[in-house]
């Protein structure tokens, strides 16, 4: 850890040593109620500035930046028209993680609802280790394998994802959630299917990926996919109202300049410039900051049990007119 941190810790604690001595027994260790290991670790606070408005972070403006979601769906909901997509949500939003957008000064919350089910057939690419297939018979002939980098872009992505599944097959490791499906890669984009050489009747039967040769297997399988209708709700017609909505949703703590002592403000300053850390028992300045962040489980009880199931340890705070993402974590003392 930084050498300046212990000295800062001593300076901050100097004026409140008597208070800490009187309260240390009440506070107890932040983990397990046992102070034995407290000297071997520190509680580190970091704050990352995210700007003066939350709108810049959470609201998309299609006139300024090309969004990753379906702009045609946004146009449809503004005009009161029905717009549907199959399998993928039009705005990639959920109830817990909504999408917001602005158009001509009006702010929308974007989402979708399932309105139907579609039956379809999709190509599924699976890869199998060619050397493994031949291990019990004779060495595999890898001379005819196509290099993954030589494939069309859609096939390169498909092979890369199917490679993850093949690598994990039979091992204890996992696979990328949301990418691997049915033990391989499912082609859904019409342009990728049309341009594919892997899916062609005369396509390659082997592919080389990162020094491993795989046997290619393509199956056309039945899928039942949801049909989503795009939704859009007007929630604000001014930047100030939108900002208030986002504050209510995203900000867990608000600290005004006058809420903290000079020593506590210095903790905030250090945390926003690389981080601040202390070992238990914490100085009154650090304890005041933790209370201002509403992170009392780190002070008032056993964070492993009392804080279990809570969202303690991270959040967004508004301080001195700016927003910060903060994080608390225990680290070994340096």
Q: What is the pLDDT of residues 48-106, one digit of tens each?
A: 999 999 999 999 999 999 999 999 999 999 999 999 999 999 999 998 899 999 999 99
Domain annotation covers residue 119 = yes
In a domain, 186, yes or no: yes
In the listed set 237, 261, 288, which residue is the last one of a domain according to the structure? 237
Per-chain mean pLDDT for the chain: 84
pTM of the full predicted structure?
0.74
Predicted pLDDT of residue 333 = 85
Could you tell me if residue 245 is inside a domain?
no
Based on the fold, state whether residues 328 and 206 are members of the same structural domain: no
Angle CA(9)–CA(48)–CA(319) in degrees, nearest 5?
A: 80
Rounded CA separation 75/103 (Å):
10
pLDDT (mean) for 7-33: 36
Domain that holds residue 226: 59-237
Q: What is the CA radius of gyration of the chain?
A: 28
Is 29 a residue whose pLDDT tops 50?
Answer: no
- Domain co-membership, 46 together with 75: no
Given a contact cutoff of 8 angstroms between Cβ atoms, the answer to whether 327 and 314 are in contact is yes
Q: How many domains does the chain have?
A: 2
Strands (E), 133-211: 146-147, 185-186, 206-209
Q: What is the pLDDT of residues 102-118, one digit of tens each?
A: 999 999 999 999 999 99
Segment 257-275 mean pLDDT:
94
What percent of the chain lies above the pLDDT cut of 70?
80
Q: What is the pLDDT of residue 175?
A: 73
Q: Does residue 190 contact residue 87 with C-beta atoms inside 8 Å?
A: no
Do 164 and 292 lie in one domain? The reply is no
Do 229 and 145 share a domain, yes or no? yes
Residues 70 and 215 in one domain: yes
Q: Indicate whether 211 and 66 sit together in one domain.
A: yes
183/320 same-domain check: no
Q: Are residues 109 and 217 in the same domain?
A: yes
Say if 246 falls within a structural domain: no
In a domain, 169, yes or no: yes
Rounded Cα distance between 146 and 236, Å, is 54
Query: What is the predicted pLDDT for the residue at 31?
Result: 38
Question: Of 237, 271, 300, which residue sits at a domain end?
Answer: 237
Same domain? 99 vs 170 = yes
Residues 269 and 319 in one domain: yes
Q: Which of 48-57, 107-116, 130-139, 228-237 has the lowest mean pLDDT?
A: 130-139
**Residue 2 has what pLDDT?**
34
Q: The tokens of 71 are what? A: 């702009």
Say whether both 87 and 180 belong to one domain.
yes
Tens of pLDDT, residues 177-221: 788 999 999 999 999 999 999 999 999 999 999 889 999 999 999
- Mark whether 67 and 131 lie in a shared domain: yes
Beta carbons within 8 Å of 158's beta carbon, 6+ residues apart: 125, 185, 187, 192, 196, 198
């Amino acid at each position: 850890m930084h050498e300046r941190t212990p000295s800062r810790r001593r300076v901050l604690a100097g004026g409140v040593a008597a208070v800490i001595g009187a309260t240390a027994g009440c506070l107890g260790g932040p983990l397990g109620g046992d102070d034995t290991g407290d000297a071997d670790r520190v509680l580190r606070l970091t704050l990352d500035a995210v700007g003066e408005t939350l709108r810049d972070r959470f609201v998309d403006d299609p006139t300024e930046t090309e969004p990753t979601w379906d702009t045609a769906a946004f146009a449809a909901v503004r005009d009161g028209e029905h717009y549907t997509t199959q399998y993928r949500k039009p705005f990639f939003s959920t109830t817990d993680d909504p999408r917001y957008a602005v158009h001509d000064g009006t702010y929308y919350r974007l989402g979708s609802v399932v309105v139907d089910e579609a039956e379809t057939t999709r190509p599924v690419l699976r890869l199998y280790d060619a050397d493994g297939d031949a291990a019990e018979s004779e060495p595999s002939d890898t001379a005819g394998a196509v290099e993954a980098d030589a494939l069309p872009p859609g096939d390169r992505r498909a092979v890369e994802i199917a490679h993850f599944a093949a690598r994990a097959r039979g091992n204890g490791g996992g696979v990328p959630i949301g990418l691997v499906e049915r033990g391989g890669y499912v082609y859904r984009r019409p342009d990728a299917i049309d341009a594919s050489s892997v899916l062609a009747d005369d396509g390659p039967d082997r592919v080389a990926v990162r020094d491993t040769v795989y046997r290619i297997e393509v199956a056309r399988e039945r899928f039942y996919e949801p049909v989503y209708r795009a939704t859009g709700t007007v929630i604000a017609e001014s930047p100030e109202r939108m900002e208030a909505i986002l504050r209510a949703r995203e900000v867990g703590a608000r600290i005004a300049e006058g809420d903290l002592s000079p020593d506590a403000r210095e903790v905030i300053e250090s945390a926003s410039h690389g981080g601040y850390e202390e070992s238990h028992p914490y100085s009154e300045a650090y304890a005041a900051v933790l209370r201002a962040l509403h992170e009392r489980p780190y002070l008032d009880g056993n964070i492993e049990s009392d804080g279990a199931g809570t969202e303690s340890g991270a959040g967004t705070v508004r301080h001195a007119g700016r927003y910060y993402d903060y994080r608390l974590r225990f680290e070994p003392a340096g």
